[in-house]
Amino acid sequence: MGLRHLFTGQQFRAIAAIFVAIAVVFAALSWYAIHIAPEASGQAEIVLNDFYRDCQENKYAEARRFVARDLRAQIDARDLAARWKKFAASNGPMSRWIEAGGGKIRGGVKLWPRYVTFDTFVLGTRTERGRVLTRLVPEDGGWRIDQFEIYP
């Protein structure tokens, strides 16, 4: 006895349509994970590296161009400098940064709402510790930092 005997023709077609819809959604998400997510992570990583480079060079006003509008409205260049000065007081000036898992920075990509997260070890000249958690969101055709927390 097959499934067709358990359902009417209309019920069977409705169930089959649901399974097809689920398969299409799964295929689309798989395609996104394979093709789009790594690209988004790479583009966001470039923005994050540029942000860190500006901060490392004490160019806080320039670094703010990588910050999303909502967060930029909350922190100015002095606030950004104060956050990194607190880091420097504990660790020395920023010397380099790597992904917290070691090696190359890799972002965790979320589909909805769309954002990329990074967990980065930021190392000072005196110590080998310091961690920064950031989240980047798409804004004005690029990626911008909308959450930023330094753990010296």
* pLDDT tens-place string over residues 57-111: 999 999 999 999 999 999 999 999 999 999 999 999 999 988 765 545 556 666 6
Q: How far is CA 65 from CA 24, 51, 55, 57, 81, in A?
A: 39, 8, 12, 15, 14
Per the structure block, which two tokens stand in for 28?
């689309």
Residues 6+ apart with CB under 8 A from 76: 64
Q: Please, which pLDDT band fits residue 32 given cuts at 50, 70 and 90? A: low
Q: Cite the DSSP H helix spans in 6-147.
A: 9-31, 37-56, 60-63, 69-72, 77-91
Cα 29 to Cα 144: distance, rounded to the nearest angstrom: 24
